[in-house]
Structure 1
Amino acid sequence: MLPHPTLDKLQTLRLTGMLKALAEQLKTPDIDSLSFVERLGLLVDRELTERDDKRLSSRLRQARLKHNACLEDIDYRSPRGLDKALILQLASGQWLRDGLNLIINGPTGVGKTWLACALAHQACREGYSVRYLRLPRLLEELGLAHGDGRFAKLMSGYAKTDLLILDDWGLAPFTAEQRRDMLELLDDRYGQRSTLVTSQMPVDNWHELIGDPTLADAILDRLVHNAYRINLKGESMRKRVKKLTTPGASD
């Protein structure tokens, strides 16, 4: 069979990995030194790699991460209180399989959101669905959804997401409606899906922030008591970068 019809059929079947690999093989002078099984194996491997890459790209698009971050780029030299052993443990993904949560605390600029996105990127690599949300925007969206009939659909989608990132927790006190929405969201996810929260406010102050004592107890019971914690500290990374890029800045 002539090669061009075969390429066309692979395109029709949407076997783009095999298509690219076969096209490359046809241009390789000594490819005939490989057996049929070896060449077929190369085609199949390429197809699997292509499909994995497409699935990862799709998960990353759906995640809408704020930063293009990955764990390999973490800077452990900065004195931020990062525990490398804990990061490696989280990178294994066992916390996601167990439906546990993660809380990243620290002052502004120390890299809370960046670290959250790096862990989320790793989750996407491992095949988990991820969604990044700024908590103020989420609460506003849920408030609007109550009025236009989208609330149940939104909550169902968030409940099914393997890793939900709630960034900027604690920028403002919760309203009565927001307390009820947050409890419903966390209750749907409890023990089944993982939630990652970043906050400048210490966890000890969350009870007062939420407001209603009964609902605060219920929310924190579902969020905090089964959560890993990373407490970052130190100078803002933004200030550090500015120093390094400012002409004449001292070491």
Structure 2
Amino acid sequence: MDKLTIKQLCANLRLSELSIAFEEQYRESAYKNMAFEDRLRELLQVQYDADNVKRRARMGQQANLRWSDATIEDCFKRHIEHRRLLADILMEFDWVGRNENIVITGKTGVGKTHLACAIANAAMNKGITVLFKRFYNLLLELVAAENEMNLKRFRNKLNRTNIVILDDWGLAPLCDRERHLLFEFIESRECKASLIITSQYDTKDWYGAFQDHTLADSVLDRIVSYAHVIKLEGDSARCIAREGGDNE
């Protein structure tokens, strides 16, 4: 099989990086004495690595994180008291395989959203899909999907994502429709996928938003019973951000 045929096959199969690496092997005399299996392995590794980089970039775009550059290394430095818990959470991401959740609480500016995004970035590096949603934006989208008779499809789309981040879970009262749509969404993910929830309020204070104790019990039990809770302490980091550090 001649060189041009091989390159054409690479083009047909969309193996662009392998094609470039093959061209290099073809030119470099050092490869002439390399075993066929070693040359083939090197070519496949080049394509595999390139595909991973592209896949990770796509995942990052689809995740739409608020802090796309957040790293867990920064969080280890910033939240020293939670290093062990964070290390456990990041260990192979077993909690995602068990469809468990993470709840991050703390006052405004302490770094809840940044930490959620850092965990999300670490997850995507492992090939785990993530989607970032502001809590009230999600409620609006659920209502809109129901109005458009598209609720099941919208919920299924969300549930194909391994981790959905619900940022800034609020205490403002929900209307009856929002309560039931939220319950159905949480129920649809129970034991099937994971959530990361950030909130200014401790979980015990979430009941006030529901104005329906039975429904609140049903929702919170489905979240907290399978959750790793991280309570962040300290002063607001917004002044740090103005000096070039992280933000909420």
Q: Same fold (TM over 0.5)?
A: yes
Q: Structure 2: how far apart are the matches of 1:8 and 1:85?
A: 52
Matched, 1:174 2:180: no
Give 3-state SS (helix, strand or coil) of 1:107's partner. coil
- 1:107 aligned residue: 107
Corresponding letter in the other structure for 1:11? A
Residue 191 of structure 1 pairs with residue 191 of structure 2 = yes
- Which consecutive residues of structure 2, in runs of 5 or more, have no partner in the other structure? none
Q: Is the 8 A contact 2:104 2:231 kept in 1?
A: yes
Structure 2 match to 1:59: 59
- Residue 77 of structure 1 deviates from its aligned partner by 3.6
Task: State the identity as a percent.
Answer: 30
Deviations 1:97-123 (A, max 9, x none): 000010001111222111111111222
Sort the Cα spacing of 1:234 and 1:27 in 2 relative to 1 into closer, same or farther, 3 A.
Answer: farther
| Residues 1:219 and 1:75: Cα distance change in structure 2 (over 3 Å) | closer
Tell me which amino acid in the other structure corresponds to 1:177: R
Q: CA deviation at 1:131?
A: 1.0
Q: Which residue identity is paired with 2:85?
A: L
Matches within 5 A, 1:1-251: 1-78=1-78, 80=79, 82-91=81-90, 92-170=92-170, 172-243=172-243
For 1:72 and 1:85, the matched residues in 2 are separated by: 13
- Stretches of structure 1 that go unaligned for 5 or more consecutive residues are 246-251
CA deviation map 1:179-217 (0-9, x unaligned)? 101110111111121111001112121011222111001
Letter in 2 for 1:196: I
- Would the aligned equivalents of 2:169 and 2:200 in 1 still touch at CA under 8 Å? yes
Q: Which amino acid aligns with 1:151?
A: L
Amino acid at match of 1:144: A
Runs of 4+ in 1 over 6 A off after TM superposition: none
Aligned mates of 1:185, 1:221 — CA distance in 2: 14
The offset of 1:129, in angstroms, is: 2.1
**1:6 counterpart letter in structure 2:** I
Kindly state the Cα deviation for residue 172 of structure 1 after the two structures are TM-superposed: 2.2
Deviations 1:71-96 (A, max 9, x none): 44324343x46411111111120100
Q: Which moved more, 1:28-37 or 1:166-175?
A: 28-37
SS of aligned partner of 1:74: helix
Q: Once the two structures are superposed, what CA deviation does each residue of 1:23-80 show, in whole Å capped at 9, x if it has no partner?
A: 23234342223222211110111122222223222222221112123544324343x4
Structure 2 CA distance, aligned partners of 1:181 and 1:236?
A: 33
Q: Letter of the aligned partner of 2:189 in structure 1? A: R
TM-score, normalised to structure 2's length? 0.90
Task: Measure the CA separation in 2 of the matches of 1:40 and 1:243.
Answer: 50
Q: How many residues align?
A: 244
What is the alpha-carbon distance in structure 2 between the residues aligned to residue 81 and residue 212 of structure 1? Answer: 38
Determine if contact 1:81/1:233 at 8 Å carries over to the other structure.
no
Whether contact under 8 Å (1:17, 1:49) holds in the other structure is no
